Amino acid sequence: MKTGKIKFFNESKGFGFVIDNESGKDYFLHVSGLVDEVREGDDVTFDLKEGRKGMNAVEVKLA
């Protein structure tokens, strides 16, 4: 599990980005990868999974 922070999340469109605390990289987040409801600025834990355009954050939970 990685730790990070929600950089951006658009509830109406169902996607956003997570910043990895360790690497500082941004990862795409789709609403289908959420376990908990999140908002911008929330601290989260997540895993990574290969997506169509690179690595996606999945199993995203509030920390």
Residues whose CB is less than 8 angstroms from the CB of residue 61 and which lie 6 or more positions away in sequence, other chains included:
35, 36, 44, 45, 46
Three-state DSSP class for residue 31:
helix
Pairing status of strand 54-62 against strand 26-30: parallel
User: For 15, left (φ over 0), alpha (ψ -120 to 50), or beta?
Assistant: beta
Q: Selecting from 3.10.450.50, 3.40.1440.10, 3.30.300.30, 2.40.50.140, what CATH number does the domain 2-62 have?
A: 2.40.50.140
49-61 pLDDT, tens digit per residue, is: 999 999 999 999 9
Q: Where are the domains of the chain?
A: 2-62
What pTM does this model have?
0.93
3-42 pLDDT, tens digit per residue, is: 999 999 999 999 999 999 999 999 999 999 999 999 999 9
